[in-house]
């Protein structure tokens, strides 16, 4: 039995517009809450009446958990008013929530954005893929027409501008809210289900950025921006996957936008469809392919992780080898420095040797003879080389009557005459003392000679530098002797 207005109690007015007024009501029989949509069809044109009849018929046909449920209608013929009794959504509409979040500085959780995408896509799939082969376009998809129930589930409503299309047909009328209209609608071209995909992409963008993707001061400027299709990325707090799907949905070319089936096959979307209507066979096949692809992708990722670990092991081994090589190079460098020091010392000794002067234990060596270490054999019986070097010194000594030849001839007599032996030792000691004094004098002379040679080298180096630089400041070096 049809209900009458007396069966409902009006609680308060939710909102009003050109279409009429929405009020929250309670059914007296069971206390259940509803919304009735009050419309004055007496003041409508024939076209508006036809749209109203179409909406009522559509709402009667559409039965889906993500579409606002139609219960019944009440007609007041006396006042020419039509009341559509609809499901009450406790969460309000998405547009009001976006405005509140914008004022309070809040933002939507990414899971909520994915949930709206999933459940709106499920509702659009019910509209676009009718069993009778017809497709229903919403044509006015915007936040104000998306409602939330007590569990924050999405309910798509307000099909006042919806249009029934036969398969492969395209709509051509210019309807909808400008901020969410597709480029083909702005260009007054034919459009199809992909136009609703564009509008849903605008809704998702506004949920993330708390503003529509295209803003302008007038409709002409807005139409130009929509035709170009340039917009900034959604805020960085949202994932790359969400940004990519929004970018695809807002593609200027309608063929580049994803289909409802491809959206419903996304893993992020599928988990929000639990408890809802079972997906179509095409969606199930797509989901199966998606699962197989994800499985292969995981296997590939594991393989890449194994190869990466192997590569890291090789890199560690290479680093160890490099460290060992560097350590060896450091040791070699130290050895080279030590060898260089030894070579420098050898070179200095070689220069001193070429001059006939060497120092060892503060003694003086002349051509290999050390006068600090003369043995008794050397004193009593000099070698021919020592005799050759010291012959002039013997001739200059007071004992000119003593010669080495005489010592050789009367060697046996020296043993028989101790006085001669003692005299010989005194003369030899005196000779050694004189030679030491003479050698000390020669050593000092040679040292002075080395110092003069070193100073001469330094002066020569300074002269070469002065001549090379051609610096007038160094001209005083030329006057140094």
* Band of pLDDT at residue 456, cut at 50, 70 and 90: confident
- Residue 388: pLDDT over 60: no
- Residue 172: pLDDT over 70: no
How far from chain centre, in Å, is Cα 480?
66
Looking at the structure, tell me whether residues 337 and 371 fall in a common domain.
Answer: no
- The per-residue pLDDT for range 406-425, each reduced to its tens digit, is 444 544 554 455 676 777 77
- Residue 25: pLDDT over 70: yes
What single string gives the DSSP state of each residue in 246-315? HHHHT-SSGGGSPPHHHHHTSHHHHGGGTTSPPPPHHHHHHHHHHHHHHHHHHHHHHHHHHHHHHHHHHH
Report CA-CA distances (Å) from 106 to 111, 113, 187, 478.
Answer: 15, 14, 36, 86
Looking at the structure, tell me whether residues 51 and 160 fall in a common domain.
Answer: no
Catalytic residue, candidates 76, 132, 140, 348: 140
Assign residue 157 the CATH number of its domain.
1.10.510.10
Q: Which domain holds residue 319?
A: 296-354
pLDDT mean across residues, the chain: 77
- The per-residue pLDDT for range 292-319, each reduced to its tens digit, is 777 888 888 889 999 999 999 999 999 9
Does residue 291 belong to any structural domain of this protein? no
Counting the structural domains of the chain, the total is: 4
Looking at the structure, tell me whether residues 334 and 436 fall in a common domain.
Answer: no
Token pair listed for 204: 């998702």
Helices (H), 189-259: 194-209, 219-228, 240-249
**Which carries the bigger pLDDT value, residue 92 or residue 430?**
92
* Band of pLDDT at residue 117, cut at 50, 70 and 90: very high
Looking at the structure, tell me whether residues 426 and 331 fall in a common domain.
Answer: no
Does residue 288 belong to any structural domain of this protein? no
Looking at the structure, tell me whether residues 194 and 223 fall in a common domain.
Answer: yes
Q: pTM of this prediction?
A: 0.54
Which of 156, 199, 193, 164 has the alpha carbon at shortest distance from 181?
199
Verify whether residue 440 is a known catalytic residue.
no
**Which carries the bigger pLDDT value, residue 363 or residue 39?**
39
Looking at the structure, tell me whether residues 323 and 399 fall in a common domain.
Answer: no
Does residue 63 belong to any structural domain of this protein? yes
């Amino acid at each position: 039995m049809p209900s009458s207005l007396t069966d409902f109690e009006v609680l308060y007015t939710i909102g009003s517009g050109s279409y009429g007024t929405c009020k929250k009501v309670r059914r007296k029989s069971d206390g259940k809450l509803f919304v009735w949509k009050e419309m004055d069809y007496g003041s409508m044109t024939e076209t508006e009446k036809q749209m109203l009849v179409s909406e009522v018929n559509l709402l009667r046909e559409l039965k889906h958990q993500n579409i606002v449920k139609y219960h019944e209608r009440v007609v007041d013929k006396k006042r020419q008013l039509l009341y559509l009794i609809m499901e009450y959504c406790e969460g309000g509409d998405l547009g009001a929530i976006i405005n509140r979040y914008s004022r309070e500085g809040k933002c939507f959780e990414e899971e909520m954005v994915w949930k709206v995408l999933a459940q709106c896509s499920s509702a659009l799939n019910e509209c676009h893929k009718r069993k009778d082969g017809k497709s229903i376009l919403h044509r006015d998809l915007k936040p104000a027409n998306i409602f939330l129930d007590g569990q924050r589930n999405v309910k798509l409503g307000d099909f006042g501008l919806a249009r029934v299309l036969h398969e492969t047909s395209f709509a051509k009328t210019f309807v909808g809210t400008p901020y969410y209209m597709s480029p083909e609608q702005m260009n007054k071209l034919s459009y199809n289900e992909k136009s609703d995909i564009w509008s849903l992409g605008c809704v998702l963008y506004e949920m993330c950025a708390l503003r529509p993707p295209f803003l302008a001061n007038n409709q002409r400027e807005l139409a130009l921006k929509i035709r170009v299709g340039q917009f900034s990325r959604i805020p960085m707090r949202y994932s790359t996957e969400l940004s990519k799907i929004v970018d695809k949905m807002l593609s200027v070319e309608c063929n580049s936008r994803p289909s409802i089936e491809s959206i419903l096959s996304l893993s992020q979307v599928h988990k929000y469809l639990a408890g809802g209507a079972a997906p179509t066979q095409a969606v199930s096949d797509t989901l199966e392919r998606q699962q197989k692809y994800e499985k292969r992708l995981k296997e590939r990722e594991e393989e890449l992780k194994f190869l990466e670990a192997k590569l890291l092991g090789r890199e560690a081994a290479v680093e160890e080898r490099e460290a060992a090589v560097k350590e060896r190079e450091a040791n070699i460098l130290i050895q080279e420095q030590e060898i260089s020091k030894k070579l420098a010392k050898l070179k200095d000794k070689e220069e001193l040797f070429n001059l006939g002067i060497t120092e060892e234990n503060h003694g003086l060596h002349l051509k290999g003879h050390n006068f600090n270490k003369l043995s008794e054999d050397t004193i009593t019986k000099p070698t021919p080389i020592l005799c050759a070097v010291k012959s002039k010194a013997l001739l200059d000594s007071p004992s000119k009557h003593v010669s080495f030849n005489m010592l050789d001839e009367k060697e046996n007599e020296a043993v028989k005459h101790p006085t001669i032996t003692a005299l010989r030792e005194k003369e030899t000691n005196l000779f050694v003392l004189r030679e030491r004094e003479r050698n000390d004098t020669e050593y000092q002379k040679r040292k002075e000679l080395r110092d003069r040679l070193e100073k001469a080298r330094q002066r020569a180096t300074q002269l070469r530098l002065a001549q090379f630089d051609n610096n007038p400041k160094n001209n005083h070096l030329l006057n140094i002797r």
